[in-house]
Chain A
Amino acid sequence: MAQREHDTRKRSNDPASLILTSLASGAKHGHALSKDIESFAGIRLGPGSLYGAITRLEERGLIEPLDVSDRRRPYQITAAGTATLARHVVEMRRVADVGAARLGLDLRAWS
Chain B
Amino acid sequence: MVVSARSNDLNRLLRWYPAAWRDRYGDELVALMSDDLEGRTPNFGYRTRVLGAGVRERARQAGIAGAGATASERTRAGSLIVLVSWSVFVLAGAGFAKESEHFANALHPNARVLPQAAYDIVVALGCLGTGLVLIGALVAMPSFGRYLHDGGWLTLRGRLVAASSLTVATIAAIVPLAAWAHGLNVVQRNGGLAAYTVAFLAWVSLVVSTLVAWTAVAVAATRRTQFSSRVLKVESSLAVTLAGVMAGLTVATFLWWWTMATRAPWYVHWSPMGSNAYVFSAQLTVTVAVMAAGVALSGYGAFRVVASRRDLDTGSGSTQVTPG
Contacts and interface: CB of A to CB of B under 8 A. Distances in A.
B280 interface: no
B31 A56 contact: no
A104 interface: no
A70 B25 CA distance: 14
A88 B322 contact: yes
Contacts of B27: 68, 71
Which of A30, A68, A88 has most chain B Cβ within 10 Å? A30
Interface string A47-88: 111111011110110100000101111000000100011011
B101 to A, nearest CB: 50
Contact of A47 (B21, B36, B320): B36
A31 B46 contact: no
B320 A3 contact: yes
Please report whether the interface of chain A is mostly helix, strand, loop or mixed according to DSSP. Answer: helix
Interface string A1-43: 0011001101000101100100000000111001000000000
Which of B31, B32, B52 has most chain A Cβ within 10 Å? B32
Contact of B29 (A47, A60, A87): A47
Interface in B280-324: 319-324
B53 interface: yes
B29 A51 contact: yes
Interface in B38-73: 46, 49-50, 52-54, 56-57, 68
Which of B27, B29, B33, B322 has most chain A Cβ within 10 Å? B322
A55 B54 contact: no
Contact of B35 (A31, A73, A85): A31
Contact of B322 (A31, A55, A87): A87
Interface in B4-37: 21, 25, 27-33, 35-36
B62 to A, nearest CB: 15
A48 to B, nearest CB: 2
A56 B322 contact: no
Contacts, number: 94
Contacts of B28: 29-30, 51, 68, 71-73
Contacts of A50: 32
A71 to B, nearest CB: 4
A47 B324 contact: no
Given A52-B56, A55-B25, A71-B30, A34 B322 contact: no
Interface residues of A, number: 37
Contacts of A14: 323-324
Given A29-B28, A31-B36, A47-B33, A4 B323 contact: no
A62 B323 CA distance: 8
Interface string B68-85: 100000000000000000
Contacts of B35: 30-31, 72
A51 B319 contact: no
A48 B50 contact: yes
Nearest to A56: B68
Nearest to B322: A7
Nearest to A88: B323
A60 B53 contact: no
Nearest to B52: A48
A73 B28 CA distance: 6
A55 B57 contact: yes
A52 B297 CA distance: 24
B53 A49 contact: yes
Contact of A80 (B33, B49, B57, B321): B321
A3 to B, nearest CB: 7
Contact of B320 (A4, A51, A52, A87): A4
Contacts of A17: 323-324
A84 B321 contact: yes
Interface of A: 3-4, 7-8, 10, 14, 16-17, 20, 29-31, 34, 46-52, 54-57, 59-60, 62, 68, 70-73, 80, 84-85, 87-88
10 contacts: A4-B322, A7-B320, A7-B324, A17-B324, A46-B50, A51-B28, A55-B57, A57-B323, A71-B28, A85-B323
